[in-house]
Amino acid sequence: MIDDDTFLASVTLTAREWRAVLELSKAYGDFEPLAMRDRVGPVAIEKLMEMGLVEKGRTADRFDRKTFPTGYRLAERGWKVMKRGRRPG
C-alpha cells in the first residue's frame, strides 16, 4: 500500500467511492452496519477497504449485534481524504 502523502497527491475517487466516503463520515467514528448508510454497498466498501480508507469492526453497542454483527467506519486515511476532497488538489 502506498503512503498517505502519495495517495492523497495522486488518487482520484470515483463518484461511487466518494459517495460512500461521505456516507461513512456520518458514523463519526462508530462502527455502523451498512444498513445505516444510504446507497453504500459491499462492493464499494471492499474497494475502500483495499485503499485503506475504511476499517471494519464489531458494530457499536446501539445496534442489534445479532442482526448486524459487522460495522464500518472511516479510517484515518479516509478522514484525510474527506478533508482533501474527491480529487487531488
53-65 confidence digits (pLDDT tens): 999 999 999 989 8
CATH classification (class only), 4-84 = mainly alpha
- Model pLDDT for residues 15-55, shown as the tens digit of each residue: 999 999 999 999 888 999 999 988 899 999 999 999 999 99
- pTM, entire model: 0.91
Residues 6+ apart with CB under 8 A from 2: 10
What cell does 43 get? 462492493
Q: Where are the alpha helices (DSSP H) in 1-89?
A: 4-10, 15-25, 42-50, 76-84
